[in-house]
Structure 1
């Protein structure tokens, strides 16, 4: 499937948003990259990951405490993904390219490939959000039907019930299957993978081997196979549920659109920025605890419009973006609470589960 083109508008929403946001950073005399608070948060999350892992593997506690610690390890893994890796991969963690690269490599340390992520997320998802057949983030066949243009199977009737289990296995599936599928097929869904450099191949295999040694081989040697298996499943299931639900609340809710290109021209109806506004939703932006933990990904509208701006600035620029959208008569989708966003996601799954 060829990638579609976006429409051009005489009155560009994107141009106006960029001007106003640029003026904000210029007038405040601040950089759009990460702040000292972000760096402190990164230290806390990485230190927490290392400490919990060390206690589990080298000073293994009793079973019930170990299971709880595996869940906490899943929280830290998700937190690092949201706050460190995500900003680093977008080049917004720091003004220094090398620091951003190091932050992005935190994903490789945790088992997934930052190279595959860059192709899947930064290049494809952020450009062609919610376009069926191109955006790999809404491709979960045959288990889930996330867009109205996708094929319907009988099991989808119950997807609003069993989706939690599928989300729990996302991280495991991501690390041990989908990365390899992309690597060997050279494709992200229907889009060709950007040509890999020699260093990309080295990093892919080197970090995959390091992850297996750290999270599989060493724990089995020190703790035994069954304790490792139970702990690893608890750890990855916790990570999978958290990572999945946060990303799904941004695009697969009732209010979000799933636009299609015109068949005759392969062109989208809206300009790129308006497309992002129609396909993306915020949630719980007033909750500081959620905002802190999910790395501002509850400000998903701001992130999709300005992915190279660190999430540390999203609460401030969200006011500018929302007011501009109101003035220009374009959508600004948001849920006041995380619970209402989850309810909307479940309702969307239920609707998509109908024939």
Structure 2
């Protein structure tokens, strides 16, 4: 599938950027993170480390362990939203190295900041809600989240079983989809840009580290079944929280799902207007 083309930019995007810059200047606010955001990040990362250490090295009784697994999954999602996401967008701090460090929290949590940059920053934010291009809409055949997608009989019940599928986001992300993107060299229908040697080492180095942190070490210290229950519960909670927030941003009733012209493959709007129409 060839990538759709947006209408030529007019004055809207430039005026929008001008007014946004004027707002920050008038209110004397930074366009990047502030000490409050840094403090929140430190609190979240510290909580994540504390929960992990307590669960793995000082494993509590079953009831408390389950509660802490739920808390750990929630904190993992919060680190993703409040630290990793802003760092990957370059808005966590005015210092590029701090932004990069914030983005790298995803690599520590089992994902890949390289794949996230390609999937989210490039493909998703460029082609939001365009079925067949925006990888965030690709839940077929399990769920139908866009009007142009094929309807199956099971979809009439997706409001009942989405709970289970949403919770699988994190687990499938770190165990399957990152590797799928790596080996197919594609994000859905969009080619993945070539990875440098550093990117390769980072990808595989952190994947190996994650197997130790979230697999081998807990299995050794807690036992296989204890690890399996904890991993599935933590991963499900993280995936569910992530999915709910992701979906509410774009796949709701009042957002647009633009379809390129069948012949020209062009879209009606320029990119900035497209972003507003496809975002809640």
Q: CA deviation at 1:22?
A: 1.0
Determine the structure 2 residue equivalent to 1:55: 54
CA distance in 2, matches of 1:29, 1:252: 34
CA distance in 1, matches of 2:6, 2:140: 26
CA distance in 1, matches of 2:8, 2:220: 59
CA distance in 2, matches of 1:68, 1:59: 14
CA distance in 2, matches of 1:61, 1:274: 52
Q: CA deviation at 1:31?
A: 2.7
Q: CA deviation at 1:23?
A: 1.2
Q: Secondary structure at the match of 2:162?
A: helix
Determine the structure 1 residue equivalent to 2:124: 125
Q: Secondary structure at the match of 1:229?
A: helix
Determine the structure 1 residue equivalent to 2:172: 173
Determine the structure 2 residue equivalent to 1:89: 88
Determine the structure 2 residue equivalent to 1:297: none
Deviations 1:26-47 (A, max 9, x none): 3344431100000000000000
Q: CA deviation at 1:114?
A: 0.6
Determine the structure 2 residue equivalent to 1:108: 107
CA distance in 2, matches of 1:75, 1:264: 46
CA distance in 2, matches of 1:158, 1:170: 19
Q: CA deviation at 1:247?
A: 0.4
Match runs of 1:1-355 below 5 Å = 1-8=1-8, 10=10, 12-281=11-280
Q: CA deviation at 1:24?
A: 1.8
Q: CA deviation at 1:210?
A: 0.6
Paired residues in the alignment total 280
**TM-score, L = length of structure 1:** 0.77
Q: CA deviation at 1:3?
A: 1.2
Q: CA deviation at 1:4?
A: 1.2
CA distance in 1, matches of 2:208, 2:130: 34
- Supply the RMSD in Å over aligned alpha carbons: 1.0
Cα 1:229–1:35 change in 2 (3 A) is: same
Whether contact under 8 Å (2:9, 2:271) holds in the other structure is no
Q: Secondary structure at the match of 2:248?
A: helix
Unaligned runs of 5+ residues in structure 1 are 282-355
